[in-house]
């Protein structure tokens, strides 16, 4: 996916200012940056949830706006922060919606098999018949990821998947995301607040400041003292743990 | 087989009760019609049976099914358990439509009035939903309150116009729902409910997805606004076709889907049939009470539904405020099929 001159304005306020970058296939790209830097807006635009004001989002040789909704939903899945869902569905019913772009409401045996696999993959077999509003935050997030897996897309976009999760569930979530990429070969784009999760679990980092891309590159290229100071305006120490540059700040 | 019974306990419990009650309802009334006299081929009995009793039962079943399914659709689409044809201004809008048809086209047939009722019900419901989508109330109880207010404004206009043009008497028949005027040749519009409910069933997954929100729909390639307004249109037409024949029947669209959801969750595909059954049962039962209570006279069903419904509604309100969307049955057994 190639993004050229992507721009978004709210009235006169430019939130995203001609962003240019590419999403590397089969890798994890994390979008980081301070609040209001425009990273979530970029995510919204590349997943066609938010309308853009200018720019090109080239997905497989065709601009994303020229894709048919149904076709695109077989190639690209987006998970935003789901905290207001009122509906009482069981885990299995939720995961089954992932097959909707393929089979609509009539699920065939192949769909059922895929649903089974996705539930198993996210280790939700025990609770597949529980209602999602009775699960813990971590379990619910896993159920949504299972739905995305059932959707069987090449691209998976996750908007702050670790939000509202405690450290245990958040790091488990990040391990799951890594598995999505390594084992299932998906291209993953994340919006993350916690930079060490971005540093440890992703391949590339794209840092936004004030609507512009400040730094983009491999984890090692971006995670330096100087860069992080420019992005967050806070002093950082970088330590290497398991070959990854992790930051310390206070 | 055992898992089938386990999955459909509610359906299997409701169905026989509805059949028995419906059968009984055919033989309740001022003029004695018994199965024996019917089979003896008595001319008058046969006439009453087929011109009045059977149509009445069919109208009752269509009303129960229609109102509760309309409520179910509206609740799902708006993702709010308190939205229904009563609390979403659908009923009052269709009444206004009927009155305007009577005013401007005094010679209009039942179908002409029905068309007006459809149009206004659709417009009223759309306006209401557009409004609540724009404002985004934080508190779920605000939505039905706004709906009730909006509905009352429309009713106010209707009443004012009716007074002004001396139509109050004619209008009363549509303000209070009753089945006493249902006879052959005058109620068939209500059959529209059947194809519409079938369409609703076919679209049920779409309604569920839209109920999960705009982003969720878009992710799955579902056109949010298109489905939202199609669904509301179906619910509005169902409601209006009932209002035009029997008048306003409140509470059913509100209570029935809520009670069923407490047991079976919100997957429309799995609950629609139960909602229809339970709705029919509720209406048939209330109608029978209305006919028996002060026999040989008859109480309008709206009165009975209103009394029973308001008590249930208050109970429901407390339950929802205390438990949110929690079900009565907390964890489902493993091994149940869900789709």
Within 8 A by CB and 6+ apart from B137, the residues are B143, B146
b/e B280-318 (16+ beta carbons within 10 angstroms → b): bbbbbbbbbbbbeeeeeebbbbbbbbbebbeebbeebee
User: pLDDT digits over A175-199, tens only?
Assistant: 999 999 999 999 999 999 889 999 9
Let me know if residue A127 belongs to a domain.
no
**CA distances, A133 to each of A89, A148, B184 (Å):** 8, 18, 48
Let me know if residue A100 belongs to a domain.
no
CB < 8 Å to B269, chain A = 105
Token couple for B247: 């008048």
CA gap A96, A147 in Å, rounded = 7
Let me know if residue A117 belongs to a domain.
no
CA gap A210, B128 in Å, rounded = 39
Partner-chain residue, chosen from B81, B213, B220, that has the shortest CB–CB distance to A101: B220
Distance from CA of B135 to the nearest CA of A (A): 16
Rounded to 5 degrees, φ, ψ at A8 are -140, 130
- Just give the CATH number of B2-26+34-168+180-323: 1.10.3470.10
CA gap A82, B44 in Å, rounded = 64
Identify from A71, A105, A152 which residue to disrupt to test chain B contact, counting B C-beta atoms within 10 A and taking the largest count.
A105
Distance from CA of B337 to the nearest CA of A (A): 9
SS3 (DSSP) at A156: strand
Interface check A63 vs B, CB under 8 A = no
What range does the domain containing A225 cover?
A: 1-75+156-162+186-250
Token couple for B260: 């069923």
Cα three-residue angle B18-B24-B29, rounded to 5 degrees:
130
**pLDDT at B150 (0 to 100):** 94
| Residue A245: its H or E element | strand A244-248
Let me know if residue A54 belongs to a domain.
yes
**pLDDT at B154 (0 to 100):** 95
Angle between helix B224-246 and B90-104 (nearest 10): 60
CB < 8 Å to B327, chain A = 88, 131
Token couple for B55: 């149509």
Interface check A82 vs B, CB under 8 A = yes
Count other C-beta atoms under 10 Å from residue A247's C-beta. Answer: 18
Question: Mean pLDDT for each consecutive 10-residue tract of chain A (250 residues)?
Answer: 89 87 92 89 90 89 89 91 73 93 89 94 90 85 91 93 87 92 93 91 92 90 90 89 88
User: pLDDT digits over A201-215, tens only?
Assistant: 999 999 999 888 988
Identify from A77, A84, A88, A116 which residue to disrupt to test chain B contact, counting B C-beta atoms within 10 A and taking the largest count.
A88
Radius of gyration (Cα) for chain B, nearest Å? 20
Let me know if residue A218 belongs to a domain.
yes
User: Which residues of chain B are under the pLDDT cut of 70?
Assistant: 1-7, 323-339
Token couple for B313: 């509604």
Q: Is the peptide bond before B237 cis (omega within 30 degrees of 0)?
A: no
Contact (CB<8Å) A93/B219: no
Cα three-residue angle A7-A9-A11, rounded to 5 degrees:
160
Q: How far apart are the first and last CA of chain B?
A: 16
CA gap B10, A3 in Å, rounded = 53
CA gap B61, B284 in Å, rounded = 7
Find, among B94, B83, B97, B96, the residue nearest to B147 by Cα: B83
**pLDDT at B329 (0 to 100):** 45
Q: Which of residues 115-154 of A touch B (CB under 8 A)?
A: 128-131, 133-134, 151
Q: What is the DSSP string of B271-321?
A: HHHHHHHHHHHHHHHHHHHHHHHTTTS---HHHHHHHHHHHHHHHHHHHHH
Let me know if residue A129 belongs to a domain.
no
Distance from CA of A154 to the nearest CA of B (A): 14
Spell out the domain ranges in chain B.
2-26+34-168+180-323
Complex ipTM value: 0.88
CATH number for the domain including A219?
3.40.50.300
Let me know if residue A193 belongs to a domain.
yes
SS3 (DSSP) at A9: strand
């Amino acid at each position: 996916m190639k993004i050229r001159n992507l721009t978004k304005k709210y009235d006169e306020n430019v939130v995203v200012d001609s962003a240019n970058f590419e999403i590397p296939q089969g890798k994890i790209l994390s979008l980081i940056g301070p609040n209001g830097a425009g990273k979530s807006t970029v995510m919204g635009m590349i997943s066609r949830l938010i309308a853009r004001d200018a720019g090109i989002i080239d997905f497989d040789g065709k601009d994303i706006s020229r894709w048919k909704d149904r076709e695109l939903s077989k190639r690209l899945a987006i998970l935003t922060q789901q905290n207001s869902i009122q509906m009482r569905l069981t885990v299995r019913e939720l995961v089954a919606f992932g097959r909707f772009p393929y089979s609509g409401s009539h699920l065939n045996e192949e769909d059922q098999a895929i649903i089974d696999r996705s539930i198993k993959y996210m280790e939700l077999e025990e609770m597949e018949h529980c209602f999602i509003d009775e699960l813990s935050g971590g379990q619910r997030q896993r159920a949504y990821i299972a739905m995305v897996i059932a959707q069987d897309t090449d691209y998976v976009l996750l908007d702050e998947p670790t939000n509202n999760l405690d450290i245990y569930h958040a790091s488990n979530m990040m391990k799951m995301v890594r598995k999505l990429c390594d084992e299932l070969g998906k291209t993953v784009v994340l919006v993350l607040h916690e930079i060490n999760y971005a540093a440890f679990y992703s391949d590339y980092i794209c840092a936004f400041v004030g609507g512009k891309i400040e730094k983009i590159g491999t984890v090692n290229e971006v995670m330096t003292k100087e860069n992080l100071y420019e992005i967050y305006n806070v002093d950082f120490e970088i330590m290497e743990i398991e070959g990854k540059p992790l930051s310390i700040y206070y | 087989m055992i898992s089938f019974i386990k999955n459909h306990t509610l359906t299997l419990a409701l169905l026989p009760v509805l059949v028995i009650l419906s059968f009984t309802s055919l033989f309740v009334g001022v003029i004695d019609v018994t199965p024996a006299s019917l089979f003896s081929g008595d001319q008058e009995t046969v006439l009453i049976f087929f011109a009045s009793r059977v149509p009445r039962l069919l109208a009752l079943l269509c009303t129960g099914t229609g109102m509760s399914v309309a409520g179910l659709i509206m609740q799902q689409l708006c993702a709010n358990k308190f939205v229904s044809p009563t609390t979403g201004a659908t009923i009052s809008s269709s009444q206004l439509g009927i009155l305007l048809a009577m005013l401007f086209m005094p010679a209009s047939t039942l179908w002409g009035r029905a068309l007006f009722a459809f149009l206004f019900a659709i417009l009223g419901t759309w306006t209401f939903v557009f409004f609540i989508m724009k404002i985004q109330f934080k508190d779920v109880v605000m939505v039905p309150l706004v709906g009730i207010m909006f509905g009352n404004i429309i009713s106010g206009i209707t009443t004012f116009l009716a007074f002004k043009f001396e139509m109050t008497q004619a209008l009363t028949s549509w303000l209070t729902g009753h089945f006493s005027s249902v006879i052959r040749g005058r109620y068939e519009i209500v059959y529209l409910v059947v194809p519409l409910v079938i369409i609703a069933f076919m679209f049920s997954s779409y309604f569920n997805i839209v109920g999960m929100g705009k982003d969720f729909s878009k992710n799955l390639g579902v056109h949010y606004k298109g489905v939202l307004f199609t669904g509301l249109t179906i619910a509005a037409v169902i409601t209006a076709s009932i209002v035009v024949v029997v008048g306003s029947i409140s509470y059913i669209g509100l209570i029935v889907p809520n009670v069923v959801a407490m047991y079976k969750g919100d997957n429309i595909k799995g609950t629609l049939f139960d909602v229809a059954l339970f709705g029919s049962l509720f209406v048939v039962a209330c109608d029978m009470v209305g006919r028996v209570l002060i026999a040989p006279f008859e109480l309008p069903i709206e009165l009975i539904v209103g009394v029973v419904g308001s008590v249930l509604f208050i109970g429901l309100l407390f339950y929802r405020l205390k438990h949110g969307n929690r079900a009565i049955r907390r964890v489902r057994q493993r091994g149940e099929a869900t789709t």
